Amino acid sequence: MRLTAGARTTRPAVLTGDTIGDDPVRVVDRATGTVIRRLDPGRAALVAYPGAVLLYRGRRFQVGGERPSYGAGSEVGAELHGEDVQTIRIRSIHTSILEPGELRPLSLGGATIRGGLSAVRVSETVTGARRHRSDGTLDGITGFEPIRASFRSFARVLLVGSTSEPALQALANLLRPCLAAVLDGGEEGLEIATAQRLELEGRAEEAGGGPLEGPALFLIDTYEGGAGYARAADARVLREALRLASAILEESCCESGCSRCVRTIHSHVEDPSKAALDRAGARVLTSRLLGLDRERG
Ligand SMILES: [Zn+2]
């Protein structure tokens, strides 16, 4: 593993997303001038961060190592990258609920849970990137001054019922690619976060359905204002994605989680409390949500 110190600047970049509607930030191939990405200034630093590898027409381009400017109308330089690698942000995401919306009773085939769309504020901090080869092995880690972004969006909140944090985290990791497979484009548009304990004040008295507090999954639309991914992840989509996840969990690839199941390349988190993954627990949770536990008797 190579450790590379990234470009250092004196102050972290703080983005607010208030610039939406202005000229886009263009990521440009330095050799030819070809525009390989047009990005909203509010999100550009989260996509075209220093060292990011971006795909364009089947070829890989790497953003320069110096901290670029992400102002409206600015240009970010990138160069053709010969190696078959991809980059993943090292980041933390904090979600606060602005308006909880209605969390309705919901069944995905099994136990009744609660789910609904909530207006949220998403605060994302990117502190570096990991480079992976096409076989999933780690090629290197780059660190840089934190890039922070804060924006309003929507999240689908699912109160999944009693489970452990490692089981919930394992399912969240697995659900990400499964949801992306069901929702076209969801890989970039949906982020999945977990909460060990979600409490909605003054809502405990609502009758019927599943619990109104406890462990929760957040399916967060990562576009400013929401691009519709959280809304699109309805019961039908969730059921389909969970069935895909269940099929993977039924495979006997490993005992405690590997890169083919719950230890996906997106699974790195800064928060050590979320580093433990419980593959067996995720299987139990998925079976309960889909009602497979009852079918088995
Ligand atoms: Zn595995």
CA of 11 to the centre of ligand 1 (A): 41
CA of 254 to the centre of ligand 1 (A): 4
Q: Is residue 127 part of a domain?
A: no
Distance CA 62, CA 48 (A): 9
Note down the domain range covering 47.
Answer: 2-82
Q: Is residue 208 part of a domain?
A: yes
CA of 142 to the centre of ligand 1 (A): 27
Domain boundary, last residue among 54, 82, 110? 82
**Most confident of the ranges 90-94, 181-185, 187-191, 228-232:** 228-232
Looking at the structure of the chain, the number of domains it has is 2
Residues for the chain: how many in total?
A: 297
Q: Is residue 140 part of a domain?
A: no
CA of 139 to the centre of ligand 1 (A): 21
CA of 173 to the centre of ligand 1 (A): 12
Region of poorest pLDDT, from 122-126, 127-131, 211-215: 211-215
Region of poorest pLDDT, from 31-40, 111-120, 215-224: 215-224
> Given this model, what pLDDT does residue 46 score?
85
Contact indicator for 130, 24 with CB cutoff of 8 Å? no
Q: Is residue 216 part of a domain?
A: yes
Q: Do 248 and 113 lie in a common domain? A: yes
CA of 257 to the centre of ligand 1 (A): 4
Q: Do 265 and 160 lie in a common domain? A: yes
Q: Is residue 108 part of a domain?
A: yes
> Given this model, what pLDDT does residue 278 score?
94
Region of poorest pLDDT, from 7-21, 87-101, 147-161: 7-21
CA of 36 to the centre of ligand 1 (A): 35
**Residue reference for tokens 């330095």:** 30
CA of 279 to the centre of ligand 1 (A): 8
pTM score: 0.76
CA atoms 215, 220, 225, 229: torsion sign: negative
Domain boundary, last residue among 82, 110, 132? 82
| Mean pLDDT calculated for residue range 165-170 | 92
Q: Reduced to 3 states, what is the DSSP secondary structure of residue 240? A: helix
Q: Assess whether pLDDT exceeds 80 at residue 184.
A: no
> Given this model, what pLDDT does residue 10 score?
33
CA of 62 to the centre of ligand 1 (A): 31
Q: Is residue 135 part of a domain?
A: no
Q: Do 264 and 239 lie in a common domain? A: yes
Separation of CA 286 from chain center: 19
Q: Do 73 and 158 lie in a common domain? A: no
Q: Do 78 and 111 lie in a common domain? A: no
Q: Do 113 and 236 lie in a common domain? A: yes
Domain boundary, last residue among 82, 106, 136? 82
Distance CA 32, CA 217 (A): 44
Query: pLDDT class for 171, splitting at 50, 70, 90?
Result: very high
Q: Do 103 and 249 lie in a common domain? A: yes
Distance CA 203, CA 160 (A): 17
Q: Is residue 15 part of a domain?
A: yes
CA of 135 to the centre of ligand 1 (A): 15
| Mean pLDDT calculated for residue range 10-17 | 41
Q: Do 96 and 206 lie in a common domain? A: yes
Distance CA 59, CA 52 (A): 13
CA of 3 to the centre of ligand 1 (A): 27
CA of 177 to the centre of ligand 1 (A): 15
Convert the pLDDT of each residue in 243-285 to its tens digit.
999 999 999 899 888 888 888 766 655 555 567 889 999 999 9
Q: Is residue 134 part of a domain?
A: no
Closest C-alpha to 234, from 105, 102, 115, 101: 115
Point out which residues pair with 26 in neighbouring strands: 38, 75
Q: Assess whether pLDDT exceeds 70 at residue 104.
A: yes
Convert the pLDDT of each residue in 215-250 to its tens digit.
999 999 887 777 788 888 999 999 999 999 999 999
Q: Assess whether pLDDT exceeds 90 at residue 7.
A: no
